[in-house]
Structure 1
């Protein structure tokens, strides 16, 4: 019986030694890591008072969700005023063009009537002057009478030219072009002001977790103030400390197995620091204890279930 107990004791000791050796061997090739995310700041582009800030620290957020709303009352007024000025300018375009039933049509009709009248007077003056020259050659009228007929003819010709020029000016597109330029300018200004109006609502630029909330409802901010930081869910890394004297064993884009606790995923080495440092105590393992190490970042799959700050194990 004693011999049997002795054998059992020896077997238990051997199993314990093997287990300890296995655990140590496994740990010697694994590195304790911590999940880090890429912080994306969300800064105000305009100044004003925050009237809405619905986010909470640590909460999940989707791209396009509202982070904060800055008071946009004055900007709305500016947009409304430009909209009204644009409508007015478009009416001016219609009035400046003949055939649109506006002021230009009335001016054209009046000028056309003056021109038609001047043409009739010119025809009569031309006929009278021709008769006067004939009568003068026959000594039937005096020279003064001939000169009077000539002056009347020249005046009529000048009147036709003047009224014809008025019609041309009214029909000319210069006024219409100027009004259209005004419309284009106001449309450009309105588009710019509408773009500025959008800046009063700050939205999330990515899916992720709210890591900092620097201002709250009622605070006054200026352009450039960082309202909140979001840790992007699209780009997360397992950060480990790798022994400096073993750097020749790893390379960029090398595959790595990351143990998340309940599952494992495959990542890729995307960053290797050039400056060595002492491994932080909480990140030490048998593989890098009491050694100079460099920070190494392993890119995790986009859809893996992991949180920023979570401890993981990385096998290289």
Structure 2
């Protein structure tokens, strides 16, 4: 009977085998942990890509508004100032009053000139009637003068015939020299009478022509017009309208709803036309200029929705808006001293471009903002593509 072969293992071999087994188990465990970490990272990235991958955000954003500059359209001394900084006003509210006495005087003068122009038109119309009457009278005078000329010519003809007979008789000595001289005088007087009557006729015709010329000139001024449409009256009416407008402008009114800011006038101060008096900030029509990095703007488009929070209210209050446009240049391009990258050593700096976001007026009414406040803006690039 033979015995089975036996293996004599030393304690060192057993320890090495056990260490190898533990190392393998440890490597398997590390691989599992690494695989779990990779899977977790992949899942987190997928979640981020789905939830946050379509948004870009910045905390470099500030509230702005199209403020209205209130200026004086007339010059004068400030009589009253009815508002102060931070006061809320409505469109049409009186903000300040300028002394209107000069404007009232100017209006009265303009109205007087208008009345004078209307009276002159009435006078011109009456002159036309008078000149027409003068022409008719001149026509009658001309006819009368023509009759006088004809009568003088008849008398001259008779005197000439009588003189001829007396001249023949005088040649035979049948009449005296005195009688012949009377015939000569009668002929000369008849001839002179003809000349006088012709001169009167010419003078009468000249008067008629002068009256006709005056009538034509007067008619040229008023022909085709009425008292309200003649050029002199229209010009005077325009002066009245301007004076009335200047009088109305002595009451300076708010051009829109908003809050008074930057008031620079006081009672008693004399202001010139065009002087800036104050500003009105329309707090219901605010917008946000969000300065995004140029590397963030690839997918940002007009019309995309945006979510904003203000440092004034914190993250618990959200505003919703819409991208309405992009600035024409970066902030550095419009700086007072633009960067000169073409000179000296140059280090590339990521530029920021202002993106304008219009805010919801209803949300602004619930939580008012003011110009210049800081905002956090986040644009959803998955909308309005």
Length-normalised TM-score, structure 1: 0.71
In structure 2, what is the equivalent of residue 185 of structure 1? Answer: 235
Give per-residue Cα distances to partners, 1:156-207, cap 9 Å, x unaligned. Answer: 3213203312431453343772895433332233333333334333222222
**Equivalent of residue 304 in structure 2, options 242, 254, 258:** 254
Q: Does 1:119 align with 2:119?
A: no
CA contact under 8 A between 1:115 and 1:163: conserved in structure 2? no
Q: Which residue of 2 aligns with 1:49?
A: 77
Q: CA deviation at 1:87?
A: 0.5
Say which SS state the counterpart of residue 217 (structure 1) adopts.
coil
Secondary structure of the corresponding residue to residue 248 of structure 1: coil
RMSD: 3.6
Q: For residue 162 of structure 1, what is the aligned residue in structure 2?
A: 206
Q: How does 1:1-316 map to 2 (within 5 A)?
A: 30-32=57-59, 33-98=61-126, 105=129, 109=133, 112-113=136-137, 116-137=140-161, 139=164, 142=184, 143-174=187-218, 177=221, 180-233=230-283, 235-259=285-309, 261-262=316-317, 264-272=319-327, 274-275=330-331, 293-305=352-364, 306-309=368-371, 312-316=375-379
Would the aligned equivalents of 1:97 and 1:176 in 2 still touch at CA under 8 Å? no
Whole-angstrom CA distance in 1 between matches of 2:254 and 2:82: 12
1:206 and 1:233 in contact (8 A); partners too: no
- Give the Å deviation of 1:39: 1.8
Which runs of 5 or more structure 1 residues have no equivalent in the other structure? 1-21, 278-290
User: 1:168 & 1:88 partners in 2: Cα distance?
Assistant: 26
C-alpha distance in 2 between matches for 1:203 and 1:300: 27
The count of corresponding residues between Structure 1 and Structure 2 is 276
Change (3 A) 1:276 1:250: farther
CA offsets, 1:202-258, max 9 Å, x none?
A: 222222222221113322222332111111346421233434442324244433133
Give distance in 2, aligned partners of 1:113 and 1:292. 94
Q: Give the direction of change, closer, same or farther, for the CA distance of 1:129–1:159 in structure 2 (3 Å limit).
A: same
What SS does the aligned partner of 2:242 have?
helix
Partners of 1:66 and 1:146 in 2: CA distance: 90
Question: Residues 220 and 144 (structure 1 numbering): CA distance in 2 closer, same or farther, change over 3 Å?
Answer: same
Greater share of residues in strand: 1
Deviates more, 1:46-55 or 1:112-121: 112-121
> Secondary structure at the residue paired with 2:282?
strand
In structure 2, stretches of 5+ residues that fail to align are 1-47, 166-182, 311-315, 334-349, 380-385
Return 178-187 or 51-60, whichever deviates more. 178-187
SS of 1:96 mapped into structure 2 = helix
Given that 1:258 and 1:314 are in contact with CA atoms closer than 8 Å, whether structure 2 keeps it comes out as yes
Task: Find the aligned partners of 1:249 and 1:221 in 2 and give their Cα distance.
Answer: 51
Q: 1:176 to 1:292 in 2, by over 3 A?
A: closer
Partner secondary structure for residue 81 of structure 1? helix
The answer to whether the 8 A contact 1:96-1:176 is kept is: no
Q: How far off its partner does 1:35 sit?
A: 2.6
Task: Look at both structures and tell me which one has the larger radius of gyration over its CA atoms.
Answer: 2
